[in-house]
Amino acid sequence: MQEDLLGYLLGALDDSEMRRISARLQEDPDLVEELEKLKRITDSLEEAYVPVEAPRKDLVEITLDSIASQDLGFQEELAENALLAGVVVGGTGLNSSADADLEKSFVDPASRSNGLSDVSAVNGLGAASGFRWWDWVGAVTAAAVLLCIILPALANGRFEARKIACQDQLRRFGVALTQFVSRSPEQRLPAVAESGPEAFAGVYALRLNESGLLPEGEMRWCPSMATPEINSPELVNLGEIRSLDQLHDVTVDELRHIQQYSGGHYAYNLGVLDDHQFTSPRFEARASFAVMSDAPLLGNLGSANLESSEKLAEWIGHGGRGINVLFEDGQVRFITVESLQVMPDHPLLNHEGNVEAGVNIDDATLGPSWRPPFRHVPQR
């Protein structure tokens, strides 16, 4: 059973297995406790993860300066090669006396210094110069080519590491949401209110926290983006918000701050219209229904910014390449910017092309923390 629980925790089971384990969790408290133990183990593994750091921007310059400043220790051998080249190639201008000195330099080590000086003078090179100018050109070219091969690989490795770390966090959210649904009488995802202080997408994090399913606030911050400092104004301490009722008593500025930042770097489902009535989606483990994703960067994101890949790339993380999306069946997939434009159900737009609640029960729309379910509703 532990293998099934681990697969459930990682979202690695198929739809039927996910539903079966979810039903077992509702009936067996011991199974829930076992799942929590596995979750603590996987969390400890994730805490030990260290993202790959990007190479320094001035790595090329440092490498080239290092090559230029090193004593490569090949001066004598290169000079001897130059001497050989002078002997073999005709028209060097060496007379018989020079030829004799040259031959002697290879036989008698004591005479090498004079022979080297003579040939250096013939070739116009100083005895201690080492590389000739074309040797330097070759070395610099080789170093540049090598760096051009290595640097993209390092950058891509860093991108992959952060993308995978973000996907792991979304899977953990998926497990928390599944547990939330299992406690809901109607089997529904967390509700975004139609208006008022709870009418914002980031209320998901508050509802999970209130249910004891989101103990770690740092889960809200995507590894591909900078995590706010501990004293940063962007950091909302969810532990200080003991119940959602507090949202109705805080000042307007405090409420705006909570709405903007409590959801962190992620986007959450804004709800759907069911027979023209706004409600939270009923959980059906659908493989194509988006529940969460990396959020577009904070700002006044509207449908106009999502009309093209170029525009969308300016608003999303992961280097503008795409977003991680958590679907209702627990699977997390990385969707490129280009693929977003051709998806039947765009995760960031409803079927009418707006960043608002879905127009039907199968229309998923995700919004950043501050986003209300409809554009023109009061949030206080």
Contacts of 11 (CB under 8 A, 6+ apart): 18, 171, 174, 175, 329, 330, 331, 332
> What's the rounded mean pLDDT across residues 322-346?
89
Q: Indicate the SS3 state at residue 326.
A: strand
The pLDDT-based confidence of 234 (bands split at 50, 70, 90) is low
Bridge partner list, 290: 327
Contact, 97 vs 84, CB < 8 A?
no
Neighbouring C-beta atoms of residue 231, cutoff 10 Å: 6
| pLDDT at position 77 over 80 | no
- The token duo for 379 is 């949030």
Q: What is the mean pLDDT of residues 320-338?
A: 89
Q: Which of 330, 362, 333 is nearest to 18 (CA)?
A: 330
Integer Cα distance of 313 and 45 in angstroms: 32
pLDDT value for 57: 61
d(CA 241, CA 258): 10
Across 79-87, average pLDDT: 50
Q: Which residue has the higher pLDDT, 201 or 96?
A: 201
If you average pLDDT over each of 48-57, 117-126, 193-202, 213-222, which comes out highest?
A: 193-202
Closest by Cα among 366, 373, 334 to 347: 366
Q: Which residue in the block uniquely carries the two structure tokens 């028209």?
A: 91
Across 14-27, b (16+ Cβ under 10 Å) vs e yields eeeebbebbebbee
The DSSP H or E segment spanning 101 is: helix 96-107
Model pTM greater than 0.85?
no
Lowest mean pLDDT among 61-70, 123-132, 336-345: 123-132
**pLDDT for 96-126, tens place per residue?**
444 445 444 444 444 444 444 444 444 444 4
Q: Read out DSSP for 129-166?
A: --S-HHHHHHHHHHHHHHHHHHHHHHHHHHHHHHHHHH
Q: Give the residue carrying structure tokens 């030990």.
A: 48
Measured CA to CA, the distance from residue 173 to residue 160 in angstroms comes to: 20
> Residue 310: what pLDDT?
59
Amino acid 91: pLDDT: 43
pLDDT, residue 360, reads 96
Check residue 63 and give its pLDDT.
65
Question: If pLDDT is split at 50, 70 and 90, which confidence band does 278 have?
Answer: very high
Termini Cα distance of the chain: 47
Residue with tokens 């603590």: 40
Dihedral of alpha carbons 369, 170, 283, 301, sign: positive
- pLDDT tens digits, 18-47: 777 777 777 777 777 777 777 777 666 655
pLDDT tens, position by position, 290-312: 999 987 764 444 544 555 555 56
DSSP 8-state secondary structure symbol assigned to residue 327: E
- Among candidates 299, 235, 237, 245, which has minimal Cα distance to 267? 299
The identity of residue 251, as a single letter, is T
Contact predicate 365/348, CB 8 Å: yes
pLDDT, residue 114, reads: 46
Going by C-alpha positions, the residue among 196, 195, 324, 206 that lies closest to residue 262 is: 206
Mean pLDDT of all residues in 157-183: 86
Domain boundaries, the chain: 1-48, 73-130, 159-368
Separation CA 203–CA 193 (nearest Å):
9
